[in-house]
Amino acid sequence: MTSSHRSTPARLWLQPGLLAWLVAGAGCDESGPRIYTAREYRALPGCLEGYAPLSLVEARDVSALCEPVCLRVAESLYVSTVCAPYPLEASLAEPDEAECQAALDAPGCDELAVDAAVP
């Protein structure tokens, strides 16, 4: 004997909005490892390398719309507009430090290469 009605679990999935609610709920509050990027400052010739991965941070979202900050990682200085949280191995440098101020004002190294190539 065949039945023309659907089983209870199948009917639940067909309830209006239930599937949409489950899918939307799965995307909420998902924090996890995110790639934190920054630009390394090269004191000589006084420029910033392109953005490159610096570390992983545990966050929900990572925005790159913050004011630039200087970060020290080991012996290197980096500049980034990526918002907090900052990588655990990085420490914030004071913006009024001479090296940080030079890094914040520095052009991109690729810009220097273009300027040098123009006669």
Asked if the structure places residue 5 within a domain, the reply is no
Sign of CA dihedral 113, 115, 116, 119: positive
Asked if the structure places residue 67 within a domain, the reply is yes
The residue with tokens 């000589």 is 44
Asked if the structure places residue 21 within a domain, the reply is no
DSSP state of 96: T
pLDDT score of 111: 87
Check whether 109 has a pLDDT greater than 50: yes
Q: pLDDT tier at 112 (50, 70, 90 boundaries)?
A: confident
User: What is the pTM for the complete model shown?
Assistant: 0.70
Contact 108, 47 (CB under 8 A): yes
Asked if the structure places residue 26 within a domain, the reply is no
Asked if the structure places residue 25 within a domain, the reply is no
Q: pLDDT tier at 116 (50, 70, 90 boundaries)?
A: low
Cα–Cα distance, 112 to 95 (Å, whole number): 23
Domain that holds residue 99: 32-117
Tens of pLDDT, residues 4-23: 444 444 443 344 443 333 34
Question: Which residues are CB-neighbours of 2 under 8 A, at least 6 positions away?
Answer: none
pLDDT score of 117: 57
Asked if the structure places residue 48 within a domain, the reply is yes
Cα–Cα distance, 22 to 56 (Å, whole number): 29
Lowest mean pLDDT among 26-30, 68-72, 81-85, 111-115: 26-30
Asked if the structure places residue 56 within a domain, the reply is yes
Tens of pLDDT, residues 87-103: 999 999 999 999 999 99
Give me the number of domains the chain comprises: 1
Tens of pLDDT, residues 37-93: 999 999 999 999 999 999 999 999 889 999 999 999 999 999 999 999 999 999 999
